[in-house]
Amino acid sequence: MQASPTDLSILVVEDDGLFRAMLEAALKAQGHEPVARASLEEALAAYDAGRFDLLLTDLHLPDGDGIELMRRIRSTDGDISIILMTAQPSDESLGEAIEAGVDDYLVKPFPVGGEYNPLHFAIQKAQAYRRLAMENRRLVGDLRDLNESMTHEIEIAGRVQRALLSRPFQHPSLRVTTSIEQSSGIGGDLFEATPATDGRVFVSMGDVSGHGPAAALVMSLVYGLMQEMSHRPVGPSEAVDTISEAMCGLFGSPEDTVFLTLCLGFVDPHTGELELASAGHWPPISVLPDGRLKVHDIWNGLPCGISETCGTETYQTTLEPGETLVLYTDGITESYGPYGRQFGLSGVQQALRTAAAAGKDITADVVQRAATRYRKGAEPEDDAAVLTATYLES
Superfamily name with CATH number, domain 166-391: PPM-type phosphatase domain (3.60.40.10)
CATH classification (class only), 9-138: alpha beta
- CA–CA distance, 112 with 290 (Å, rounded to integer): 95
Alpha carbon 217 to its chain centroid, in Å, reads 16
Report which residue type is found at 180. I
pLDDT at 128: 81
- CA–CA distance, 119 with 106 (Å, rounded to integer): 8
Beta bridge partners of 388: 177, 326
Alpha carbon 264 to its chain centroid, in Å, reads 30
Give the helix ranges, DSSP H, for 329-381: 330-333, 344-357, 364-374
Question: pLDDT 10s per residue in the chain (394 long)?
Answer: 444 455 889 999 999 999 999 999 989 988 889 999 999 999 999 999 988 999 999 999 999 889 999 999 988 888 888 999 998 888 888 888 888 888 888 888 888 876 668 888 888 887 787 777 778 878 887 787 777 766 665 565 556 656 566 566 778 899 999 998 877 666 678 888 888 888 899 999 988 887 666 777 777 777 778 778 777 778 999 999 998 988 888 766 556 678 889 999 999 999 999 999 999 999 999 999 999 999 999 999 999 988 899 999 999 999 999 999 999 999 999 999 888 899 999 999 999 999 999 999 999 999 999 999 999 878 778 889 999 999 997 6
List, by residue range, all CATH 3.40.50.2300 domains of the chain: 9-138
The number of residues in the chain equals 394
List, by residue range, all CATH 3.60.40.10 domains of the chain: 166-391
> Is pTM beyond 0.85 here?
no
pLDDT at 160: 60
Peptide bond into 303 cis (omega under 30): no
